[in-house]
Amino acid sequence: MKKVALITGAGQGIGEAIAKRLHHDGFAVALVGRTLDKVEAVAKEIQNDHGDAIAIQADVAKRDDVFSTVQKTYDHFGDFNVMVNNAGVAPTTPIFEVTPEVLEEAERINVGGTIWGIQAAATMFKNLGHAGKIINASSQAGMTGNPNLTVYGSTKFAIRGITETTAKELADDGITVNAFCPGIVVTPMMNDIAQQVADKAGKPFEWGMEQFAKDIALKRLSQPEDVAGCVSYLAGPDSNYMTGQSLLIDGGMVFN
Ligand SMILES: NC(=O)C1=CN([C@@H]2O[C@H](COP(=O)(O)OP(=O)(O)OC[C@H]3O[C@@H](n4cnc5c(N)ncnc54)[C@H](O)[C@@H]3O)[C@@H](O)[C@H]2O)C=CC1
Ligand SMILES: CC(=O)C(C)=O
């Protein structure tokens, strides 16, 4: 029987690439997103490639939604093995522009969504009586400070802390918890960030992207597939003896 993975935020960008990569690795995949049309379109592509995929609409900020996606995934495929807490939002907030609303939304989705995802997946693994893998999306912005990303960066630092903490709490149940920390990945999110930073400075889009891209040692932006390859490792057996870790996939940027 195929192993089963659930990926949140799978309608575009990194989540879409992870879903497709895990399908190629032999997983049955549940694609979760806020906009059903988008996850359905990706699920259809996977089905057309002879894959097993379902699409589920959910808001990861809502605990009940997240528990329900895990239950639906199990009900459909009959097992549950890997949870990828990938969905996130990235407000661009110079420190003087941070409002309670911006802070709360990012906390509810990025931090809350990750915690509910860990709770729901670990509960299911324990009920099934077998091991499982939980993989969380942090960021290079969760390892170092990025100007204009105070709120976003705070959520991504938090996700690394949650990863380390829950790895220790869940180890006795055979559950591993790791995080991936992409650098600058060409997705709708990153394009929005670059555009907003450029707009605030009265500069063109290319200038906005350059603010993030100029220190990449490998001298190229990353593609969603670069990240999906590392998540494939975290989801597969070769990472079985690894837990509580944050895998940096930034082309040599943070520690330049
Ligand atoms: N693009 C980049 O350069 C980087 C991205 N990341 C992280 O990787 C993850 C994926 O990022 P991208 O693919 O770039 O973003 P994206 O914005 O292109 O895609 C994220 C997806 O998550 C969904 N989503 C957002 N809030 C949701 C919610 N409450 N419930 C359900 N779905 C929700 C969105 O609808 C979207 O389909 C995020 O956690 C992001 O913070 C980390 C480092 C760099
Ligand atoms: C979006 C993000 O995580 C960046 C710029 O590191």
Average pLDDT over residues 29-37: 98
* % of the chain with per-residue pLDDT over 70: 100
CA distance to 94, 146, 197, 212, per residue, from 251 (Å): 26, 16, 22, 12
| Nearest bound ligand to the CA of residue 15 | 1
Tens of pLDDT, residues 59-111: 999 999 999 999 999 999 999 999 999 999 999 989 999 999 999 999 999 99
Specify the DSSP class assigned to residue 3: -
Q: Where are the alpha helices (DSSP H) in 25-178?
A: 36-48, 63-77, 100-106, 113-128, 150-170
Query: How many H helices and E strands in the chain?
Result: 9, 7
- What band does 256 get if pLDDT is binned at 50, 70 and 90? low
* % of the chain with per-residue pLDDT over 90: 95
- Angle between the 36-48 and 13-24 helix axes, to the nearest 10 degrees? 30
Average pLDDT over residues 174-198: 96
Residues ≥6 apart with Cβ < 8 Å to 224: 13, 14, 16, 17, 18, 185, 186, 187
User: Which member of 74, 152, 233, 241 is catalytic?
Assistant: 152
| Nearest bound ligand to the CA of residue 185 | 1
Average pLDDT over residues 216-240: 97
Tokens of 143: 């390892």
Average pLDDT over residues 196-208: 94
Task: Answer yes or no: is 185 a known binding residue.
Answer: yes
Tens of pLDDT, residues 117-159: 999 999 999 999 999 999 999 999 999 999 889 999 999 999 9
Q: Taking the CA of residue 173 as centre, how many other CA atoms within 13 Å lie in the half-sphere pointing to its CB?
A: 22
| Nearest bound ligand to the CA of residue 196 | 2
Tokens of 24: 């190629």
CA distance 135 to 121: 11
Catalytic annotation present for 241: no
0.95 surpassed by complex ipTM:
yes
90 within ligand 1 shell (Cβ under 6 A) = yes
Report the chain's C-alpha Rg in angstroms.
17
Atom of ligand 2 nearest to the CA of 90: 1
Average pLDDT over residues 176-186: 98
Q: Give the model's pLDDT for residue 255.
A: 72
253 within ligand 2 shell (Cβ under 6 A) = no
- What band does 20 get if pLDDT is binned at 50, 70 and 90? very high
- What band does 30 get if pLDDT is binned at 50, 70 and 90? very high
For residue 22, pLDDT beyond 70: yes
Task: Answer yes or no: is 227 a known binding residue.
Answer: no
Find the range with the poorest average confidence among 11-25, 125-139, 206-220, 238-252: 206-220
- What band does 12 get if pLDDT is binned at 50, 70 and 90? very high
193 within ligand 1 shell (Cβ under 6 A) = no
139 within ligand 2 shell (Cβ under 6 A) = yes
Gap from CA of 146 to ligand 1 centroid (Å): 17
Which residue's entry shows tokens 């990235």?
90
Give the predicted TM-score (pTM) of the model. 0.98
Average pLDDT score, the chain: 97
120 within ligand 2 shell (Cβ under 6 A) = no
Looking at ligand 1, which residue's alpha carbon is closest to its atom 10? 14
- What band does 254 get if pLDDT is binned at 50, 70 and 90? confident
